[in-house]
Amino acid sequence: MCLTGPVAQRGEIRSAAASNLSSPREQLPLQAALFTASGPAAPKEPVMHLDDAAELRRRYTGESRSGAKAELRRLPIGDPLIPRSSGDQEFLEAEVLRGLLEYPSTYTTRPFRVLRVIPQPTGMTIRFAADADADGLTDFVAWGLFPAGGEDDMRGIPGLRLVYAGHNRMDLGLLGTHARVRLEGVPSTSWREIEAVRQRAAGDAGETAPFRHPELTLGERAFTQRHSWLVEARRGTAALGSALLRRLGLFRTAADWHDMAGYTKYSDTFAFRMTFTKEMLTSHGEFLRQLTEPDCGIPVVQRMAACSCATGGTDCRLYLASQPPYEGRVELQFATSWDCSAGEIVEVLRYAGSPESEIARYVPLRPGLACRHDREIHGRTLQFLQGLAGSRRAQRAEVAPTGSAGRGTR
Ligand SMILES: [Zn+2]
Ligand SMILES: [Zn+2]
């Protein structure tokens, strides 16, 4: 399997990058200079050293230092530090982000479990964190990304297919296109189980499981015909969705939340909800500054803000509109958790497999936090997660009685 798309697509990216250079915001001397520092093309521009460029890029991607440098060295001259995608590839990436935002919250210290993204001119890789909740991750891929439902209740990405699965890696493709997204860190055993669960569920319902089906399923066809306007609208905001996914790492490096969730609104809004303890609440303005940073950020402007920081509020929102060449909106929510919840938050993150060092970074523990709540208020999240894990195990054991369903995943 090759992640590189058709040559024509590469051409589109170059011309897009070239046209960007004519707009004031997109004057990107640093990027141009990075790759032409020794040539005559940019003698008066400031030169960004490869090390500095890699440091900047990895703030947005979460890549390792050496990984970011290797990717930068491979970039065509003139491409931004984080290259833009295009066409079907861009659409698939935006749909993957939509899947991440719409699937229920995951309780990890990584944004939607994502450890790093590796954006390339014609493809991308998403590396998931190795936490303890393998079944939660494969449930997300199977139900949150792959399509389910039909004409009026389609979820996931219509036309998404499995190109390869094995060795804790999956390559996803969009039917009838060259678009590909590689997922790394998806445990193969857990994936085989959930694929069997979905195959059986589809069989029981007289439907076709989408994973390897060579054409659109009846449900997918019915949905895309009836809601073609929605698919078109999502294509209109695909550039923004793809750009956000390619910068998902910023939601970790620039904000000290202990829980992150998301949602989408209408067909054009990508929304991120970050929850902080009071001590760790990230400055909204500082986050926005990094999100819109000229070399690696995205051009968005604040249309409206509902900030209650000054009055001790617990839920602030920024409403952002993207600027050309992007279309669509971004919503950022900065929520604050109760002081007395800190112990519970730590328990939940530990249970879900987040490393101790990560937990300690985002949840400062102070002794003697006063709690005025009824006892039943706390501890529910952990119970909920334990129940969910139990039902996942039972569901998988049903379809794989001789398989690995007895293994001790919580
Ligand atoms: Zn605020
Ligand atoms: Zn309390």
Query: How do residues 346-387 score in pLDDT, each as one tens digit?
Result: 999 999 999 999 999 999 877 667 888 887 888 899 999 999
Query: For residue 33, is it within any domain?
Result: yes
Judge contact between 292 and 314, C-beta under 8 A.
Answer: no
Q: Are residues 99 and 222 in the same domain?
A: yes
Number of domains in the chain: 3
pLDDT in the model for residue 32: 35
> Which of 395, 404, 402 has the alpha carbon at shortest distance from 198?
395
Domain match, 140 and 232 both:
yes
Domain end residue (candidates: 208, 225, 245): 245
Ligand nearest to the Cα of 379, by number:
2
Is residue 382 in some structural domain? no
* pTM: predicted TM-score of the whole model, two decimal places: 0.87
Ligand nearest to the CA of 315: 1
Q: Which ligand has the shortest distance to the CA of 286?
A: 1
Residue 185 and residue 203 share a domain? yes
Where does 144-237 have alpha helices with state H?
188-204, 218-226, 228-236
The reply to whether 260 falls in a domain is: yes
235 and 95 belong to one structural domain: yes
Ligand 2 centre and the CA of 368: distance in Å?
12
Which ligand ends up closest to the CA of 372? Answer: 2
Are 180 and 199 in a shared domain? yes
Residue where a domain terminates, one of 193, 210, 245: 245
pLDDT score at 283: 95
* 160-166 sheet: strands from edge to edge: 114-120, 123-128, 180-184, 169-174, 160-166
Among 42, 74, 106, identify where a domain stops: 74
Question: Does residue 270 belong to any structural domain of this protein?
Answer: yes
Residue 395 is assigned to a structural domain of this protein: no
Q: Is residue 406 part of a domain?
A: no
Indicate if 265 and 220 belong to the same structural domain.
no
Could you tell me if 306 and 343 lie in one domain? yes
98/221 same-domain check: yes
Q: CA angle at residue 56 from 52 to 60, to 5 degrees?
A: 160
- Measure the CA–CA gap between 110 and 255, rounded to whole angstroms: 11
Q: Are 157 and 96 in contact (CB under 8 A)?
A: yes
Q: Are residues 236 and 95 in the same domain?
A: yes
**Domain around 107:** 87-245
Domain membership flag for residue 96: yes
User: Does one domain contain both 307 and 351?
Assistant: yes
Rounded CA gap, 86 and 91, in Å?
8
Task: Check residue 66 and give its pLDDT.
Answer: 98
Q: Is 44 helix (H, G, I), strand (E, B) or coil?
A: coil
99 and 209 fall within a common domain: yes
Q: Mean pLDDT for each 10-residue chunk of the chain (410 residues)?
A: 30 32 33 38 64 97 98 93 97 98 90 97 96 92 96 96 97 98 97 96 93 97 96 97 98 97 96 95 96 97 95 93 97 94 92 93 80 85 93 92 46
The answer to whether residues 114 and 175 belong to one domain is yes
368 belongs to a structural domain: no
Residues 6+ apart with CB under 8 A from 126: 96, 114, 116, 117, 118, 181, 182, 183, 184, 245
How close is the Cα of 332 to the center of ligand 2, in Å?
Answer: 26
- Of the listed ligands, the closest to the CA of 282 is 1
Residue 165 Cα to ligand 2 middle (Å)? 44
Give the model's pLDDT for residue 45.
54
Q: How far is the CA of 365 from the centre of ligand 1 (A)?
A: 23
